[in-house]
Amino acid sequence: MSVLDVHVLGAPILRQETAPVTTVTDDVRRLIDDMFETMYAARGIGLAAPQVGRPERVTVVDVARDKDPRQPIALINPEIVLQEGSRRGEEGCLSIPGVYGDVERAARVVVRAVDRDGQPFEVEGIDLLATCLQHEIDHLHGKLFIDYLSILKRRAALTKWDEQKSKYPALTRVIVPVSVIADRPDPEDE
């Protein structure tokens, strides 16, 4: 498994529609493994394929707080089939490091997807998992959490990003595993 570079805001692939996976091949399983490794290294709670430069409709999530035990969920071709309630929560994104904002989302969702063995399954997400699933599925359709911010808040977020983005001249971010850097504050990045 390898830790992959993460594409950051400005990389065109983050705004592109993904392609549904027609057959779950070993290549797709390797992508899933690498995405988990990258997400854990970055201490994120979710990661979508376009963030690592891949066009497949694939995402991984794990909202377990201390990751012990881990609760990994890999979703291929995920679709929200039910959503209800609403919840406001602060979100971040591994592709927009240092930028956070409150987003209102459904408080509960049911997502239908295919697993790494090609089998269909459904997962219910409540609260943080609901937010995370919606955030990641948005990524698979070229949408980012900053799109939901009010004009003023989005402008502030983009100003903050302007100060950061010179660190990523190639619009990619090399993930340094968290074990070798100091603790980072909440909230989680997705």
Shortest spacing between CB 42 and Ni ion, in angstroms: 11
Q: How far apart are CA 129 and CA 107, in angstroms?
A: 9
**Residue 93 interacts with Ni ion (CB under 5 A): yes or no:** yes
Residue 93 vs 140, nearer CB to Ni ion: 93
Least distance in Å: CB of 190 to Ni ion?
4
Distance (Å, rounded) from C-alpha 124 to C-alpha 108? 7
The residue range among 34-42, 78-86, 90-98, 107-115 that interacts with Ni ion, by the rule CB under 5 A, is 90-98
DSSP 99: -
Q: Residue 162 gets which letter from DSSP?
A: H
Q: What is the largest CA-CA distance in the chain?
A: 45
Tell me which of 37, 56, 91, 136 is the catalytic residue.
136
Q: Considering the rule CB under 5 A, would residue 175 count as an interface residue with Ni ion?
A: no
Q: Is 136 a catalytic residue?
A: yes
Does 130 engage in binding with Ni ion (CB under 5 A)?
A: no
Does residue 99 contact residue 164 with C-beta atoms inside 8 Å? yes
